[in-house]
Amino acid sequence: MGLQIDIQNRVLVANLSGEMDHHQTERMRAQIDAAFEKSSCRHILLNMAEITFMDSSGIGLIIGRYKNAEKRGGKLALAEMSDPIARLFEISGLAKIVLKTVTVTDALLVLGGTQNE
């Protein structure tokens, strides 16, 4: 469980792992926000590949990071969602505000394309 963050192409990439429940999202949120704050990135990409469980606490985290990116005129993208996470994504209506991509590379391409809008 944990979080590894790097910056690629001026996109803040958060590689999440573990269970996105109330307990673990608190720390994930603090780490993502601190890194975003320090960076000059506009976009945030959440790599969900290593997430083994998610409930509505994860939806809350996603909406919160979307708002932070939006404040800088950026977007939030989610990559590598498993089937159960994709289902929660649909139920919650996140599809309206968050970019859903298959791989991290896809996400960087899409976000790169919106960099100079």
Partner 1 sequence: MNDNFIKLEIEAKSENVSLARVVAAGFLTPWDATVGEVTDIKTAISEAVTNAIIHGYAGAADSSIVTMELSVKENILSIKISDKGVGIEDIESAKEPLFTTKPEMERSGLGFTVMESFMDDVKIESNPGAGTTVTMTRKLGAFK
Catalog residues that contact partner 1 under the rule CB under 8 A.
19, 21-23, 26, 29, 53-57, 59-61, 63-64, 83-84, 88, 91-92
Evaluate the CA torsion angle 108, 43, 17, 93 in order and state its sign. negative
3-state DSSP assignment of residue 29: helix
Cβ-based nearer residue to partner 1, 91 or 109 = 91
The residues with which 8 forms a beta bridge, in sequence order, are 11
Q: At its nearest, how many Å lie between partner 1 and the CB of residue 11?
A: 22
Cβ-based nearer residue to partner 1, 73 or 93 = 93
Residue 57 engages ligand ATP in binding (rule: CB under 6 A): yes
Residue 15 engages ligand ATP in binding (rule: CB under 6 A): no
Q: Which residues bind ligand ATP (CB under 6 A)?
A: 56-57, 60
